[in-house]
Amino acid sequence: MLVPALGVLLAASLSPVPTTTLDEVVVTARRREQRLIDVAAGISRVTPGITGALELAHPAESLNRLPGVVLQRGSGQESLIAIRSPVLTGSGACGAFLMLEDGFALRPTGFCNINQLFEVNTTQAAAIEILRGPGSAVHAANAVHGVINILTPSVRDLAALRITATTGSDDFRAVTLAAAQHDYAAQVLVRHDGGFRDDSASTDYKLNLLHDREFRDGRLRLRAAATRLDQDTAGFVRGFEAYRDPVLRRSNPNPEAFRDAESLRLSAAWSREACDDCSDEVRAIVRDSSMSFLQHFLLGKPLERNAQRSAALALARSRPFAEHALSWRLALDAEWADTSLLEIQDGPTLEGAAAARAIRPAGRHYDYSVAVATAGASAGLEQDRGDWLWRLSMRADRTTYRYDNRMRDGNTAEDGTPCPGGCLYSRPADRRDRYSRITPRAELVKHLSDSQHLYTVLAEGFRPPEITELYRLQRNQSIAELGAERLRSAELGWRFTVGQRPSLSGSVALYRARKAGVILRDTNGFNVSGGRTRHEGLEYELDWQARAQWRVRANGTWARHRYDFSRVIEGGESIVAGRDIDTAPRSIHRLALEFRPYNALAIEVEARRTGDYFADAANERRHPAQVALRLNSRWQLGDDLGLNLEIENPADQRLADRADYAQGDWRYFPARGRSVYFGVDWRRR
């Protein structure tokens, strides 16, 4: 509690003065530009650092700079996410977080992937905004624990030409190019990471095309994005503290594993402001993605291929009520998607006990398509009374899945041969499922002065079951009667700025949330609803500008994420109400010191401490706390040329990006040792 308490004491002892720090504009909270001081939500924004890019090799580098966020790196470009939550895993984990690019969802409803951030060019983004807590009243389904919004740059903000080339440890090579002329721009990223573990190289390609122009008294933004990932995947290393072993940590028990993925998105957004409180907006996107990967973590190691084609359209209008300082906003959304999944196993299962091998036959396990249709409407009222601002909003959503099984119904082998006691993989008959939900949100902002602001918000988030939770069943389950997961949250926050130079700005937020209808797999291997969890925490952000040469930034979280029900689940693990959810560190803190001894040289040293956490649901095994270090520096050799030096883990510590206990053993994703990267950055303005 020391850091936020220091901010409170300083704010109380020094006279606040007007500042522009809190006039920062964010877009994710309301799907349109808005001053941060008018936002009733825990929202943070990360922009390119001293090296001129958001990150070098992985989104964890940028997102882990924000409070309340944990991004655990997997192999290559893979990751697991937590936002005001434990680190979630499993087929429905990604549904708890909505991932956007310029406000458009990366994937359609019901078809997310926990690793889908590799489908967006975060390295060359203008900023990433994180909305912590539920946002379904604004963004619809999947905005349960939080929203990640990657913002592409405006054409006018790009240099005429910029080229960056980087080389580093473990055969790392990356080239980025950006070019802008008049109203058009292009961004290109080609990156190869040889991987510090055996057979774990990855190569990704990203292309963004941008066009901005004035159109019919408004602004038109056209965007195209294409990505490709070719990855050799490294699996868990097993055994207690295996990540510390110098040989095991570089080994790869699954050299055959891979992930290949492609994506394409075309979007258009038009908006105009006819008066101070008048706005009109039209947004549309078409998306296409496909992915193939070997499920090396399953017995038999089946191959999965999935794909989707989708389109979405959104309309919104806001207007004031005359003479009442009130304004209203109406929005309509529609989405259509055609999705498919194939799981196939080349040969017989060779691992595990005889009984386990017998129920995992070769051939197709699943082969289905699902057509998804969603429709939503929202309405809101807002009143700005100067010192006070309040908003009320309500959204209604309806999602329909039309499932078509392309194989035999039931749990036989592909050719109809039965397994002893039934094969593991069960395929429901063709069916339709519909989910409807109304989500409210109430916000209140109190402006104490030009530099101190309080807010409170009551909100709800929801997600319908993911397609794989409904139709990728196991054992003797023929129908999964699942409801939507729902989270209700209350939050109280304070934003402040003290002084000019030296100056201290920051925020503190308290939240409490309850989630119901949590989907899990029971001891029979059935997908069922009925789990409950609770989440409480405090988050803080501080930015102290001591003088021109020094800047100190700190943020962190104290939180508890606990089960609110008791049950024995798959694998024989026992959930007991009141115990911590696994992989839910109670404290995470980050401290960054930026030093500029003279104008041409900038150095940043960053330390991030992740507290210990339980590695199993029974809370019997605990992974210790660890501190990760990083050093970034830039030497500017004139207006056009700069040199970057980045050192990951400069102390060469033995760390784990992820630890858990499953299937009777410890499992780890080891973190990289000391890694050095050198880059040359040239631009023509």
What pLDDT sits at residue 324? 67
Flag whether pLDDT at 11 surpasses 50: no
Check if the beta carbon of residue 108 is closer than 8 Å to that of residue 229.
no
Q: CA angle 237-239-245, nearest 5°?
A: 70
Q: What is the pLDDT of residues 460-503, one digit of tens each?
A: 999 999 999 999 999 888 898 999 999 999 999 999 999 877 88
What is the average pLDDT across 27-34?
A: 85
* Percent of the residues in the chain that have a pLDDT greater than 70, as a whole number: 96
Instruction: Sketch out the chain's domains with CATH numbers.
Output: 2-684 (2.40.170.20)
What pLDDT sits at residue 264? 98
Flag whether pLDDT at 5 surpasses 80: no
Check if the beta carbon of residue 49 is closer than 8 Å to that of residue 56.
no
The more confidently predicted of residues 13 and 650 is: 650
Q: What is the pLDDT of residues 516-552, one digit of tens each?
A: 999 988 877 788 898 999 999 999 999 998 877 899 9
Q: Classify each residue of 195-234 as buried b or exposed e, where b means 16 or more C-beta atoms within 10 Å of its C-beta.
A: bbbebbbbbbbbbbebebeeeeebebbbbebbbbbbbbbb
How does DSSP assign 59-110, residue by residue?
A: THHHHTTSTTEEEEE-STT-EEEEESSPPP-STTGGGGEEEEETTEESS-TT
CA-to-CA distance for 308 and 667, rounded, in angstroms? 32
CA-to-CA distance for 216 and 489, rounded, in angstroms? 40
For residue 258, give the nearest of 299, 290, 303 by alpha carbon.
303
Beta bridge partner(s), residue 259: 231, 293
Scan for tokens 């999944």, then name that residue. 341
CA-to-CA distance for 59 and 73, rounded, in angstroms? 9
What pLDDT sits at residue 490? 98
The more confidently predicted of residues 406 and 25 is: 406
Q: Is 279 helix (H, G, I), strand (E, B) or coil?
A: strand
CA-to-CA distance for 54 and 206, rounded, in angstroms? 15
* Percent of the residues in the chain that have a pLDDT greater than 90, as a whole number: 82
What pLDDT sits at residue 13? 32
Q: What is the pLDDT of residues 36-87, one digit of tens each?
A: 988 999 999 999 999 999 999 999 999 999 999 999 999 999 999 999 999 9
CA-to-CA distance for 140 and 548, rounded, in angstroms? 43
What pLDDT sits at residue 22? 62
What pLDDT sits at residue 599? 87
Flag whether pLDDT at 12 surpasses 70: no
Q: What is the mean pLDDT of the chain?
A: 92
What is the average pLDDT across 150-164?
A: 96
What pLDDT sits at residue 547? 77
What pLDDT sits at residue 468? 95
What pLDDT sits at residue 16? 34
Question: 413-422, long-range: CB within 8 Å, 24+ apart, which pairs?
Answer: 413/361, 413/362, 413/363, 414/361, 414/363, 414/364, 414/365, 415/363, 417/361, 419/358, 419/359, 419/361, 420/355, 420/358, 420/359, 421/359, 422/359, 422/475, 422/476
Least confident of 161-170, 364-373, 547-556: 547-556
Flag whether pLDDT at 19 surpasses 90: no
Check if the beta carbon of residue 525 is closer than 8 Å to that of residue 569.
no
Confidence of residue 2 (pLDDT cuts 50, 70, 90): very low
